[in-house]
Amino acid sequence: MITALDKNTALVLIDLQNGIVNLPVVHPVKNILDNAAKLVAAFRKAQLPIVVVNVNPTPNKLRKDAKIGAFEPTAEWLKIVPQIKTMADDTYITKRTWNAFTNADLEVELKSRNITGIVLAGISTSIGVEGTARSANELGYNITFAEDAMSYLFADAHEHSLKRIFPRIGEVGATEEIIEKLGSLY
């Protein structure tokens, strides 16, 4: 349940890129992208920042994974999916690890806009989203999780993040709840 959003909140979308959304996640990708697009539209209407994060792993992090196999990211693999309707004036961050704060400019971007809260969505729930959320918590951001705008390869790991980790460091709710709270800010 979402009780409130900070007036200075940014939407942070994690790894909604061609190479990631094509992985065999447990929830329909169309629903995740539709909900992410709704969040983008609502944040744009509220004139609040939208941060789009993609991952381009460092070569030493590329390894064979039993579920997804070995890969070398191509330019197409790295591209943000068009369904979420990002724009040129959104902020774009490329991360090299699970966490969008590590060796990236996310914290600099958020601080420069006096952001105190973030709404997180994306793939993968217990990797990129959770990694970023843990750092955001340590840095003092208020965190809101859009539970219907994220997924992962494994249902048990996804549920563990949503039910055990995220409620300890933020609030978890549906896209429509977040949009409703966003509307009450203005």
Give residue 146's identity as a one-letter amino acid code. A
User: By three-state DSSP, how is residue 169 classified?
Assistant: helix
pLDDT tens profile 89-111: 999 999 998 999 998 899 999 99
Mean pLDDT over each residue of the chain, to the nearest integer:
93
Q: How far apart are CA 6 and CA 9, in angstroms?
A: 5
Options 2.60.40.420, 3.40.50.300, 3.40.50.850, 3.30.590.20; which CATH number does 9-184 get? 3.40.50.850
pLDDT, residue 14, reads 98
Alpha-carbon distances of 117 from 44, 71, 79, 148, rounded to whole Å = 16, 34, 26, 19
Q: What percent of the chain shows pLDDT beyond 90?
A: 85
Mean pLDDT in residue range 105-123: 97
pLDDT, residue 185, reads 83
Q: Can you give the residue ranges of every domain in the chain?
A: 9-184
pLDDT, residue 138, reads 98
